[in-house]
Structures are given as C-alpha cells and as structure tokens.
Structure 1
C-alpha cells in the first residue's frame, strides 16, 4: 500500500511538473505580409514576375490578334461564296478553318505554358526568400525563448489566430533580424 501511495505521489508530481513546464512556453505572432512587403528582395521578385507576366501576356495577345485577323479574313471569304466558286472557295475556307484551329490550340498551349512558367519562376525566386524568412523567425524565437510563432496575416479571409491579447508580436524583431529598417507601419492587433 505504501508503495502504491509512493508511486501515485510520484506520478502526480511528474504530471504537475510537466504541466507547469508546458504552461511556461511562450507563444508569439507576426504578420508575414508586412515583413515580406518590407523585404527589398521581395520587391525585386515582384518586379521580375510582373515583367515576365507582361512579356507572356504580350505574346498571347499577339497570337490572339493573329487569330482575329485570320478569322475576319475567313468571314470575308465566306461572304464571297457563290454557286460558281463554291468548290474553290470551299477548299480555301476549309484550309482557313484548319489554320484557325491550329492557332487556337497554339493560344491554349501558350497560355498553359505561360502559367506553368510563372508558377515555376515564382517558386524559384520566392524559395530563397521563404528560407531567409523562416531562418530569421526561428532565430528570433530561439533568442526570445518562444515555443510557437503564429502568422496573424489574414490570407483569403482566415488565419491561424482567432484572437490574442498581450501576446508577443515578433514582427519588428524578425524585420530587424532580416536587416529591414523599422517603418511607419505598425503591426495592428485585432
């Protein structure tokens, strides 16, 4: 019986001490959007992606313009169709239709390829920024003894934090770790 009491007491002490250790863990939050928009590298990435998008869009618009011109030519050719030139014009219209289908497939393929290239380029350019950001967040968390850091940026209408009060906002500390000067934009609390 004494052994049972001793084991129960030991288990209770361990349970309460484990609970006390867990209760001491610090939790913090940051606004990743504010940090990323402050990073000079992110601005350069954004400019590069916008330039690539404009180039791809111009290429697709040129193809669409070519399609439109040839389509209008086919419509005009169709208006010249008569019983006397039915065979000749019919063959020309058939050739024009085949060409238009090819151009349409080319536009669809170019659009799909452009989207894939944009996603690949974004991943290529944003990967190092993400790594730099995560490294800075982990360093700040370690320095401040923080166990968990949540992102308070609301993307697509939701985030992981529903409410916080007197929490630790490490946005400025992460910006400082990244070498970003403190700006006038202050982190807002909800």
Structure 2
C-alpha cells in the first residue's frame, strides 16, 4: 500500500512537471535584423562614421607632419648643419611627438567607443523594452535571440511583433 502511494505521488509530480513545462511559452527574435531596420541605428552609424573619419584625418595630419619633420632632420644630419647636441634635442622633440601620436590614437579609440555606447544605449533600451512588451502581451516566459538559437519553430518568431511595436 505504501509503495502504491509512492508510485501515485511520483506520477502526480511527473504529470505536474510536464504540465508546467508545456505551459511555458518560448519565443525568439532576430535582433540584428530589427536593429538594421531602425532609422535611429542608421543615424548612429552615420554619426560614428563621420566622427571616425574626422579623427583619422587629424591623426593622418599629425603623422604627415611628423614624417616631414623627421625627413628634414635626417637631411640636416646628412648635411652636417646640426651640432650633436642639436641633433639630440631635435630627436627628443620627435620622440615626444611620436608619443603624442600614439596617445592620440589611443584616445581616438576610446572616444569612438564612448560615443558608440552613448549613441547605441538608448536604441538597445528601446528594442529591449519592445521585446519585453511583446513577451508580456503574448504570454511568453522567455524570448531568445535567433543568433544563439540552435532550433526554433517559425511560429515562435516574434520579430515582426517587435518591429510593429517599434513602428517599423
């Protein structure tokens, strides 16, 4: 009798677990596609591209000036118009400018990363809010990104609902 009760209890637990698992709804979105269609994303990418070109232009100008000054110093050394002490001073100046160029390049990368984060954060936030709203409206427990999904039924794709929520 005790064994029959245990078997019945296990059966009830298995049935309850199966019912709970089948009641959960899972969906997925193609976030890359959604982001690529957003006008805000295109504007942010254009803004970043403009900033990058501007910074690269400044960096190239610095490098060109450095190269010209280096060649001028080389020529003066070959002609013998500089004393050894002057050569050392000019070389030290060039080394300092070379360091400035390296610092500028590092700062350029940081500035671009900061600007990217500043521009993209509100976009990502709005997309995440739209995904959360669709999940709540449709009763989804989880929404995954299609890029990490190994298998998904077409009916579980809520990308079009998220696009509609974003006005696309």
TM-score (norm 1): 0.80
What residue is the counterpart of 1:50 in the other structure?
A: 49
Deviation at 1:143, TM superposition (A): 1.5
Residue equivalent to 1:177: 165
* Structure 1 residue 167: Cα displacement: 4.4
- Over aligned residue pairs, what C-alpha RMSD do you find? 1.8
Cα offset, 1:55, TM superposition? 1.5
Structure-2 separation of matches of 1:133 and 1:69? 50
Q: Which has the larger helix fraction?
A: 2
SS of the residue 1:163 aligns to: coil
Matched position secondary structure for 2:142? strand
**1:21 matched residue in structure 2:** 20
Q: Report the TM-score when normalising by structure 2.
A: 0.90
3-state SS, counterpart of residue 149 of structure 2: coil
Residue 116 of structure 1 corresponds to which residue in structure 2? 110
Deviation of 1:8 (Å)? 4.6
Partner of 1:164: 152
Count matched residues. Answer: 168
| Pair 1:6 & 2:11 matched | no
Quote the residue 2:38 is aligned against.
39
Displacement over 4 Å in runs of 4+: none
Distance 2:94 2:154 in 1: 64
Structure 1 contact 27–167 (Cα < 8 Å) conserved: no
